[in-house]
Structure 1
Amino acid sequence: MSRLTHAQALQRVNAVGISVHSSGNCSDRNRPNCTSLDTILAKTIDQIVAFKRKSGKVVIITGGTETGHASGTKSHWNGYKLDIAMNAGVTDYITKNFRYIGTTNGGRWAQYQDGSDIWTNEGNHWDIVIS
């Protein structure tokens, strides 16, 4: 599987108008308050770029491969997941165009599926698992 450096991923997402926000204003993969795209899977970046192009909505990445997320095979750390900021345009697009598949976290978080990708509304952001 092809992986990207933070700079390579940033170039790809910025080219289509996707921005990256970090609460710590940093991109250090080893700091949980940073937003890093270092070692992210190219297919994960390809999918968020495709989403931006299809939806035309404002997309802001707020979580990438930095430490501090849940572990697992298809995790943030392993490059399979992104978090994007919650906004009305993105939410409207997802709920109207993706298939609702139920809830998780005790019924608190709605999940939607686009192909094999799972989009979870975690209240203040969308958590995306790219398969």
Structure 2
Amino acid sequence: MRIRSALVAFALSGGALFAPGFGVFATASEAFAATKISHETATAMFLEAGITWSSSGNCTDRNNPTCTSFEQLNLESAQGALSLKQASGCAVHITGGTETGHASGTYSHWNGYKLDFGKQTCLNKYIKYTFTYIGNRSDGARLYESATGNIYADEGNHWDVLYYNCAC
């Protein structure tokens, strides 16, 4: 919350972007300064950490909404998933990456800032009891903020995670 409050104050002083639905502010240079990684690099990182993933279409094509792709994922987002796995001690299963079909915007799946995680008891408890509840999104999704400013949205059947400020 304190990170977001500081960014809001900065944003009000001029030259910032707003991430719709999350209330997170950042400068334009921060929004586009991310290091992009390939699908192959991301999957190697996830395999080594014991993170699993799946797609409803059993594919990795970024331009197919039934696939799960990590092409053009921000390195910080991948590192955020690794940190979540390590800190929580829970199984982490990715169900959505940078493929088309998600909501658009600066801080979107397509732009590498978000990952979707399948829900399971261990992970649900970790997020709800470790991170700070910060309210609900306009669609009713409950939002939790990590100490580093990442936002976890409970979208019913999965967690939609915005790795805005990983600091991993």
**Deviation >2 Å, runs of 4+:** none
Match of 2:90 in 1: 57
The gaps in structure 2 that reach 5 residues or longer are 1-33
The gaps in structure 1 that reach 5 residues or longer are none
Larger fraction in helix: 2
For the residue of structure 1 that corresponds to 2:129, the secondary structure is helix
* Equivalent runs, 1:101-120 vs 2, <5 Å: 101-106=134-139, 108-114=140-146, 115-120=148-153
Match of 1:88 in 2: 121
TM-score by length of 2: 0.76
Matched, 1:70 2:84: no
Shift of 1:105: 3.1
Match of 1:34 in 2: 67
Give the share of equivalent positions with the same residue, in percent.
Answer: 43
In structure 2, distance between residues paired with 1:8 and 1:34: 17
Shift of 1:66: 0.1
For the residue of structure 1 that corresponds to 2:49, the secondary structure is coil
Q: Equivalent of 2:55, from 22, 25, 48?
A: 22
What is the CA deviation profile of residues 5-62 of structure 1, one whole-angstrom value per residue up to 9, with x for unaligned ones?
Answer: 1010000011111011111000000000000000100000001101100101010000
Instruction: Count residues with an aligned counterpart.
Output: 130
Structure of higher CA gyration radius:
2
In structure 2, distance between residues paired with 1:56 and 1:26: 28
Matched, 1:48 2:81: yes
Shift of 1:87: 0.8
What is the CA deviation profile of residues 53-98 of structure 1, one whole-angstrom value per residue up to 9, with x for unaligned ones?
Answer: 0101010000000000000000000000000001111100001100
